[in-house]
Amino acid sequence: NAGVTQTPKFQVLKTGQSMTLQCAQDMNHEYMSWYRQDPGMGLRLIHYSVGAGITDQGEVPNGYNVSRSTTEDFPLRLLSAAPSQTSVYFCASSYADHRAAYNEQFFGPGTRLTVL
């Protein structure tokens, strides 16, 4: 059981370049999400998905796209990178059982992105 995996671990981009951050989970979780972590700002939700074919915007979605074609994968696309997108990006997944008292989220190890 690999849990939540993210690639790459580090990435440096130039302004205007595009790239995709990969996220995969092998726990058959319905819910997947992307956060960015910035100093003094905590974790802010970018986009999330509650199943294949279903995505929605979080708190800071501008400049990012997502899709969910399979249960396992939830890639995050930066269409035209900007220095303001320099951050550490975390993917997380969990079950989406609304009858449960809570659904524990499992986090990937993160991708550290620098945009020059």
Binder to another protein among 110, 113, 115, 116 (CB under 8 A)?
A: 110
16: left (phi over 0), alpha (psi -120 to 50) or beta: left
Radius of gyration of the chain (CA): 14
Nearer to another protein, 17 or 44 (CB): 44
Residues in 32-91 that interact with another protein by CB under 8 A: 33, 40-43, 45, 48, 50, 90
Tell me how many degrees the CA angle 57-69-97 measures, rounded to the nearest 5: 65
Minimum distance from residue 9 beta carbon to another protein (Å): 10
Rounded Cα distance between 1 and 18, Å, is 31
Q: Write down the least CB distance from residue 86 to another protein, Å.
A: 18
* From 12-20, 66-74, 78-86, 94-102, span contacting another protein (CB under 8 A): 94-102
Residue 76 tokens read as: 């995050």
Closest to another protein by CB, 41 vs 79, is: 41
- Tokens encoding 92: 């997380």
